[in-house]
Amino acid sequence: MSDGGGFSAGRVGAMLLRYLYLLRSSWPRALELVYWPAISMVLWGFTSKFLMTNSSYVARAGGVLLAAVMLWDVLFRGQLGVSMSFLEELWSRNLGHLFVTPLRPYEWMIALLTMSVIRVAIGVLPAMLLAIPLYHYSIFSLGLPLLAFFTLLLVMGWALGLLIDALLLRHGLGAESLAWLAVFLLAPASAVYYPVATLPRWLQDLALVLPSAHVFEGMRAVMFDHVFRLDHFIAAALLDIVYLAIGAVVFLDAFRRARRRGALLQTGE
Amino acid sequence: MCRVSHPVIQVSALSKRFGDTLAVDAIDFAVPPGATAALLGGNGAGKTTTLSMLLGLLLPTAGQIRIFDEDMLRHRYRVLPRMNFSSPYVDLPHRLTVRQNLTVYGRLYGIARLGERIAELAEDLQIAEFLHKPTGKLSAGQKTRVALAKALLNVPDLLLLDEPTASLDPDTGDWVRSYLERYQRGSGATILLASHNMGEVERLCTEVMMMRRGRIVDRGSPRALIERYGRDTLEEVFLDIARSGELRPQAAAQ
């Protein structure tokens, strides 16, 4: 039996198992993971096809919109992956059981982040693969930069997910819709489908502090100019580190405050 | 050499305030090893709040909690592997099957040979036939037995129970009480339960702490309390205390 020492990979594994059991128990949930990324890829695929012959911007690099929509989904699903697993505990009012075990809050946090990777892989990879036969576009043609973009957006999704989880711990399920809505607040300034230069001046300043804006600028540089912009990569990576650290601190602080308020037993439906 | 036996639970000047409400008001108590003790009181007396603080789910406003001679506020991870908890008000995840829930919790406690332990508990608690069922589809009695199985996975030295037989029919309630008696005798575990079922407390407990408005207003064995109040049952004592605003002199003197 555990002596209650430090970090335990076994406890993280137990939490992952709990979320995988949940996914396995409900095929509609598993299907939902794949459904939206695939649908948006199909819609943007046709839009791209149309714009290829009607827009010089898209014609310069076929697949720029498709790559953008798929990478945006990495950010969105990454955040949703953290928030949904967290919400499962609120819906089932399970926090009172979990935290009388030796499970540490940071172990739970690591399990939530790991689960986000799994959910993103399940949701986004099929859409990426489907684009190849449907539109003759492979996002994998981006090469190694794709791995950088994927990782940077995933980590930004984690940071956002942890901040949303902290708000849910504070405000309960009344704030549940934040899990689906919050990321879209950042979409305009993230410049997913257009260059940052398109934005008004004040919004460009905001875009500079979003890792996502640097990633999408970097993606366009690779696709249009065949250049990997190290400046954007470094900016996004540094911002990610700062935001992930803030997300983790805020999440753990929200947990401590929830213990003070008694919310671990009461938070639920 | 004289061996000193520390209380399993030692609570000193423990308080919890929620805004303007003082839910627990500077309570002190100790539970010796192997005892079965009860926190008894009406709704809002502070029983569940006290249990939550003992479990580390709720931070006290003031006071100290020592469990197995460890400061619960500073070293709860040394203590949590040795204790467990069950409450009919905190269900296990509904969508997971019973076996899946027990597997997840067994792994959280780091139980060796978990499959064997689950099989053993399934036989003891007669839950084998619905191990494969989603926990949410069980009856109240079945859920209580599954919750007990979860609470006993790590063979706890300290078991905290919040109204362990609430909403159960008399037969199932009696079965659960008998099981707890057997477990306590067999393991030597210490049990603290919060209840307002007087029959249950009279039957199981050696020590009772009567709570009212966040304070322990009297304490003693069920027999001693009944005699002190000149009543026939613990329920009558409970009603005396619940309906009076005053502390009895004996309680105030303690």
Pairing of strands B36-41, B190-195: parallel
| Span of A29-38, B20-29, B94-103 with lowest mean pLDDT | A29-38
Task: Tell me the chain B residues in contact with residue A100 when contact means C-beta distances shorter than 8 Å.
Answer: 55-57, 80, 83-85
d(CA A34, CA A118): 12
B57 closest CB neighbour out of A1, A11, A100: A100
Whether residue A131 is predicted with pLDDT greater than 60 in this model: the reply is: yes
DSSP secondary-structure letter at A11? H
Contact (CB, 8 A) for B96 and B128? no
**Percent of chain A surpassing pLDDT 70:** 95
Parent domain of B66: 9-92+158-253
- Structure token pair of residue A85: 């697993």
Do residue B108 and residue A11 have CB atoms under 8 angstroms apart?
Answer: yes
**Where exactly are the structural domains of chain A?**
9-266
Identity of the amino acid at A27: W
Domain total of chain B: 1
d(CA A3, CA A16): 21
**pLDDT, tens digit, for every residue of A207-222?**
999 999 999 999 999 9
**pLDDT, tens digit, for every residue of B187-242?**
999 999 998 788 889 889 999 999 999 999 999 999 999 999 899 888 888 888 87
At A143 the three-state DSSP class reads: coil
At A269, the pLDDT band (50, 70, 90 cuts) reads very low
CB count within 10 Å of CB A205 equals 11
**Percent of chain B surpassing pLDDT 90:** 65
pLDDT value of position B249: 44
Contact (CB, 8 A) for B49 and B87? no
pLDDT value of position A109: 96
B111 closest CB neighbour out of A1, A8, A15: A1
Task: Tell me the chain A residues in contact with residue B110 when contact means C-beta distances shorter than 8 Å.
Answer: 1-2, 8, 10-11, 102
DSSP secondary-structure letter at A62? T
At B5, the pLDDT band (50, 70, 90 cuts) reads confident
Long-range contacts of the stretch A211-215 (C-beta < 8 A, 24+): A211/A152, A211/A153, A211/A155, A211/A156, A211/A235, A211/A236, A211/A237, A211/A239, A211/A240, A211/A243, A212/A75, A212/A153, A212/A156, A212/A186, A212/A236, A213/A189, A214/A152, A214/A239, A215/A71, A215/A149, A215/A152, A215/A153
Whether residue A187 is predicted with pLDDT greater than 60 in this model: the reply is: yes
* Cα distance between the two ends of chain A: 34
**Percent of chain A surpassing pLDDT 90:** 63
d(CA B161, CA B195): 8
pLDDT value of position A3: 47
Whether residue B250 is predicted with pLDDT greater than 60 in this model: the reply is: no
Task: Tell me the chain A residues in contact with residue B57 when contact means C-beta distances shorter than 8 Å.
Answer: 96, 99-100, 259, 262, 264-265
DSSP secondary-structure letter at A15? H
Closest by CA to A19, choosing from A162, A119, A161, A107, is: A119
Burial of residue A113 (number of CB atoms within 10 Å: 0-12, 13-18, 19+): buried
**pLDDT, tens digit, for every residue of B148-167?**
999 999 999 999 999 888 87
Instruction: Tell me the mean pLDDT in the region A240-258.
Output: 96
- Structural domain includes residue B142: no
For chain A, the 3-state helix, strand and coil shares in percent, each to the nearest 5, are 80, 0, 20
Q: What is the mean pLDDT of chain B?
A: 89
Task: Compute the Cα dihedral for B225, B226, B227, B229 and give only its sign.
Answer: positive
B104 closest CB neighbour out of A8, A14, A88: A14
Instruction: Tell me the mean pLDDT in the region A140-155.
Output: 93
Q: Which ipTM value was assigned to this complex?
A: 0.87
In this predicted model, which residue has the larger pLDDT, B178 or B4? Answer: B178
d(CA A80, CA A117): 11
pLDDT value of position B4: 60
pLDDT value of position B245: 60
pLDDT value of position B198: 86
- Structure token pair of residue A264: 């671990």
- Structure token pair of residue B188: 């030597």
Instruction: Tell me the mean pLDDT in the region A224-246.
Output: 96
C-alpha separations of A215 from A72, A138, A221, B139 in Å = 10, 18, 10, 52
pTM of the model: 0.89
At A242 the three-state DSSP class reads: helix
pLDDT value of position B54: 96
At B232 the three-state DSSP class reads: coil
- Structural domain includes residue B137: no
User: H or E segment at A74?
Assistant: helix A64-91
Task: Tell me the chain A residues in contact with residue B87 when contact means C-beta distances shorter than 8 Å.
Answer: 96
pLDDT value of position B238: 86
- Structural domain includes residue B201: yes
**pLDDT, tens digit, for every residue of A9-27?**
999 999 999 999 998 888 8
CB count within 10 Å of CB B246 equals 9
- Structure token pair of residue B166: 């609430």
**pLDDT, tens digit, for every residue of A84-128?**
999 999 998 899 899 999 999 999 999 999 999 999 999 999 988
pLDDT value of position B3: 53
Listed in order, strand segments (DSSP E) in B60-131 are 62-67, 70-71, 83-86
Whether residue B127 is predicted with pLDDT greater than 60 in this model: the reply is: yes
Pairing of strands B9-18, B207-212: unpaired
Contact (CB, 8 A) for B209 and B30? no
- Structure token pair of residue A189: 């300034």
At A267, the pLDDT band (50, 70, 90 cuts) reads low
Do residue B90 and residue A14 have CB atoms under 8 angstroms apart?
Answer: no
Do residue A98 and residue B110 have CB atoms under 8 angstroms apart?
Answer: no
Contact (CB, 8 A) for B105 and B96? no
- Structural domain includes residue B123: no
Q: Which residue of A has its CA nearest to B133?
A: A25
